[in-house]
Structure 1
């Protein structure tokens, strides 16, 4: 006669626990981050990137307060990374435009007559 250990099921969730739900704000941060990355080169990406970073602070607080019942931390991380990429692209576009403007301005120097020293 062999003795087998009784099969026990892992403890289930408490019936009053809410179902995990996706965070809509995290989705908004992701959408704004994508918009910032796509329009960052045209300098228009600064607006959605700023809104995404401000909204990300709220989403982090909501995710922490939900205790694991609110999903969306991956979308939040990707959205914040894309928002920062949009800011970097906008800054790079401003630097390139500034350098191009200076080079264009420098090409049109004063044109003196041939008799002037």
Structure 2
């Protein structure tokens, strides 16, 4: 397979240079997945916003580092899964906040407004 005219095909490039580092899994990828999972599991309790936000920030950093490494940092699948879980956690937080506001407004609307005077007073 060639990528552009005049380039050497990927299959015939040969062995890699001995000074190239071995591909390694990015440690931040595992952290992103764990924080995204924690954010999703605690998303309904509003506390999931913190780990989900941290997971998304770490995912940005990990993607930058993986791009700068030239393909020697792996773990892109863990990053994508962690990001999806973090976004799911943030959606659950938003749903919880909306439900809490709606319940609060409905309860506030049901309570009497103003002073409740006795029947014999004008």
TM-score, structure 2 length as denominator?
Answer: 0.79
Q: How far, CA to CA, are the matches of 1:46 and 1:82 in structure 2?
A: 12
Deviation at 1:32, TM superposition (A): 0.5
Deviation at 1:54, TM superposition (A): 1.2
Change (3 A) 1:115 1:106: farther
Deviation at 1:109, TM superposition (A): 2.5
Stretches of structure 2 lacking an aligned partner (at least 5 in a row): 1-11
Query: Which 4+ stretches in 1 moved above 3 angstroms?
Result: 110-116
Query: 1:103: which partner in 2?
Result: 106
Change (3 A) 1:56 1:10: closer
Stretches of structure 1 lacking an aligned partner (at least 5 in a row): 1-8
Deviation at 1:17, TM superposition (A): 1.4
Query: 1:82: which partner in 2?
Result: 85
Deviation at 1:15, TM superposition (A): 1.4
Instruction: Give 3-state SS (helix, strand or coil) of 2:112's partner.
Output: coil
Count of residue pairs brought into register by the alignment: 108
RMSD: 2.0
Spell out the pairing of 1:1-117 with structure 2 (5 A cutoff).
Answer: 11-110=14-113
Instruction: Give 3-state SS (helix, strand or coil) of 1:58's partner.
Output: helix
Q: How far, CA to CA, are the matches of 2:65 and 2:29 in structure 1?
A: 10
Change (3 A) 1:104 1:80: same
TM-score, structure 1 length as denominator?
Answer: 0.83
